[in-house]
A and B are shown apart, each in its own frame.
Chain A
Amino acid sequence: MTLAEGVQLVTFGLLTAMTLGGALGVVLLDNIVYSAFLLGGVFTSMSGLYILLNAGFVAAAQVLVYVGAVSVLILFGIMLVNKEQAYVPMKRAWLGKTATGGVCVGLFALLTASTLNTPWAISSQVPTGDMATVTIGIHFFTDYLLPFELASVLLLIALIGAIVLARREFIPDVAPGEPASEALQLPERPRELVSSVSGSEADS
């Protein structure tokens, strides 16, 4: 084993430990804020694994989209929705947990067996490395042109759909002095209503 292979193996071991440990923390920790930050750690170590797989462009996209956008979005969701809530314990919850754990372990065993028993046709060509960005661009504008355009349309649809789903139906006009009625208050944390008109306009 050469030095480069040893460094690769150690890096892979560290990144895998970080990924799987973070994922277990995301699933098992009680505090959801810790889970969200650990999810950011999982995404970061996944981008490290991508770099190990000679894919710099996708690693950068992973950091930009997942760590920069999705983690922040989830943190904002937690801040908007965070409610101290004691979950009512379910009857026979251990049964579901045990069954799911059994199914997951079984699925992992199945995947492991099929992975180890398949004769993979490992290619002996040299990976493109940093030229991958150019190759991905060529793919996008030749043989994957239609999916590329469809993805942009889908992102636009998701943008508009998210706004339509999450926006408030109407913004109540409340004069600054009088208390807002209970029906108009949002269930999110900050319970102050921001009036849509300023004070001088409301008086006139």
Chain B
Amino acid sequence: MQLEYFLLTAAALFCIGIYGLVNSRNVIRVLMSIELMLNAVNLNLMAFSNYLDPVGINGQVFAVFVISIAAAEAAVGLAIVLSIYRNRDTVDMEQFNLLKW
């Protein structure tokens, strides 16, 4: 078992998350992609914590912080999605152009 395996897994997960973030039409799927990217970052932190700092485990502390921030982000994001759905009656990302021009 090596550090590089975990880092490569995290990199692949992050890239999949970016692809979904940019290409999704559904707003909920965009939120899911953001969660995937946050999980990739968490996996990176945990891998570094285990292999480079196995006694101090500062990385695990950071991962716990990221998990709590992600929970807050999901709650606020879904509230925004719900309220914008009430106003625009759609979940299509391409039709949310309030701030575009």
Binding site for B on A (CB under 8 A): 5, 8-9, 12, 16, 19-20, 23-24, 26-27, 32, 35-36, 39, 42-43, 46, 49-50, 52-55, 57-58, 61-62, 65-66, 69-70, 73-74, 76-78, 80-81, 83, 85, 87-88, 90, 96-97, 100-101, 103-105, 107-108, 111-112, 115-116, 120-123, 125-128, 132, 135-136, 139-140, 144, 147, 151, 154-155, 157-159, 161-163, 165-166, 186-188
Q: Given known contacts A26-B33, A53-B6, A115-B4, is B72 in contact with A158 (CB within 8 Å)?
A: yes
Contact assessment for B28 and A81 in the assembled complex, using a CB-CB cutoff below 8 Å? yes
Contact assessment for B54 and A107 in the assembled complex, using a CB-CB cutoff below 8 Å? no
Chain B: number of interface residues, binned into ranges: 35 or more
Instruction: Give the number of residue pairs across the A-B interface with Cβ within 8 Å.
Output: 241
Contact assessment for A139 and B52 in the assembled complex, using a CB-CB cutoff below 8 Å? no
Q: Point out the residues of chain A lying under 8 angstroms from B63, CB to CB.
A: 55, 58
Contact assessment for B65 and A74 in the assembled complex, using a CB-CB cutoff below 8 Å? no
Closest chain-A Cβ to B53's Cβ sits at a distance in Å of: 7
Among A19, A26, A135, the residue within 8 A (CB) of B32 is A26
Cβ-closest chain B residue relative to A5: B1
Contact assessment for B24 and A27 in the assembled complex, using a CB-CB cutoff below 8 Å? yes
Q: Given known contacts A32-B28, A96-B23, A123-B52, is B4 in contact with A20 (CB within 8 Å)?
A: no
A23→B94 CA distance, assembly (Å): 23
A154→B23 CA distance, assembly (Å): 30
Q: Point out the residues of chain A lying under 8 angstroms from B91, CB to CB.
A: 81, 83, 85
A80→B56 CA distance, assembly (Å): 44
Cβ-closest chain B residue relative to A83: B91
Enumerate B1-33 residues with CB–CB distance to A below 8 Å.
1, 3-9, 11-20, 22-29, 31-33
**Closest 10 A-B residue pairs measured CB to CB?**
A158-B72, A27-B20, A165-B79, A127-B54, A111-B11, A166-B79, A162-B79, A104-B15, A53-B50, A162-B75
Among B25, B36, B60, B69, the residue within 8 A (CB) of A136 is B60
A107→B18 CA distance, assembly (Å): 10
Among A58, A76, A166, the residue within 8 A (CB) of B46 is A58
A16→B31 CA distance, assembly (Å): 22
Enumerate B68-98 residues with CB–CB distance to A below 8 Å.
68-76, 78-83, 85-86, 89-92, 94
Contact assessment for B29 and A127 in the assembled complex, using a CB-CB cutoff below 8 Å? no
Q: Given known contacts A49-B6, A87-B92, is B79 in contact with A23 (CB within 8 Å)?
A: no
Q: Point out the residues of chain B lying under 8 angstroms from A128, CB to CB.
A: 54-55, 57
Closest chain-A Cβ to B101's Cβ sits at a distance in Å of: 17
Cβ-closest chain B residue relative to A52: B1
